[in-house]
Amino acid sequence: MANIFSENQYGFKQVYCCIPFSQSKNSNIEFGDKIWMPVSALNELVVCDVPSPWMFQIKAYYNSGRVSHCGVLEFTAEEGCIVVSDWMMENLNIQEGELVEVASVVLPTGNYMKLQPHTTKFIELSNPKLFWKIP
């Protein structure tokens, strides 16, 4: 199977110590796909002229069998560390304090999505297509 992701096209690739969001006071971020990175990452992204939106491939440094993709929420992590959600750490099969490799990627633009409602309440709406209209 061909790799559809453009790996490290813009030259940003760093290794960081991984810390879970569960140690953070802001529990709302636990369910998203964003990470916190150190301010040095912001500096390097700007110097490397990586175009926004910034998307990254993240994988365990020593066991890179699994990968995930994420964006960045803010650049407030401790230097040398990134802060990620517990679900992402579980998905990558890594523990707190382990090293992860973060590399910039350009993800393909989606052009089709099929949704399946969990309940019938959605299809009982008078005009369910109107619900999905983007202004």
Q: Specify the pLDDT at position 11.
A: 81
Return d(Cα 20, Cα 30) in angstroms, integer. Answer: 9
Question: What was the pLDDT predicted at 28?
Answer: 64
| Alpha helix stretches (DSSP H) within 15-132 | 39-47, 86-92, 128-131
Distance CA 17, CA 33 (A): 18
Which domains are assigned to the chain? 6-108 (2.40.40.50)
Check whether 23 has a pLDDT greater than 80.
no
Q: Which of 16, 13, 103, 107 is nearest to 58 (CA)?
A: 103
DSSP single-letter state for residue 56: E
Rounded to whole angstroms, how far apart are CA atoms 16 and 80? 5
Q: How confident is the model at residue 113 (pLDDT cuts 50, 70, 90)?
A: confident
20: preceding bond cis by omega (within 30 degrees)? no
Residue 135 has pLDDT above 70, yes or no: no
Asked if residue 11 lies in contact with residue 48, where contact means CB atoms within 8 angstroms, the answer is yes
More confident residue, 65 or 74: 74
Q: Quick count: other Cβ atoms within 10 Å of Cβ 8?
A: 15
According to the model, what pLDDT value does residue 27 have? 59
Query: Which candidate, 13, 30, 22, 15, places its Cα nearest to that of 79?
Result: 15
User: pLDDT tens across 83-107, in order?
Assistant: 999 999 999 999 999 999 999 998 8
The string of pLDDT tens digits covering residues 24-69 is: 666 567 778 899 999 999 999 999 889 888 999 999 998 878 999 9
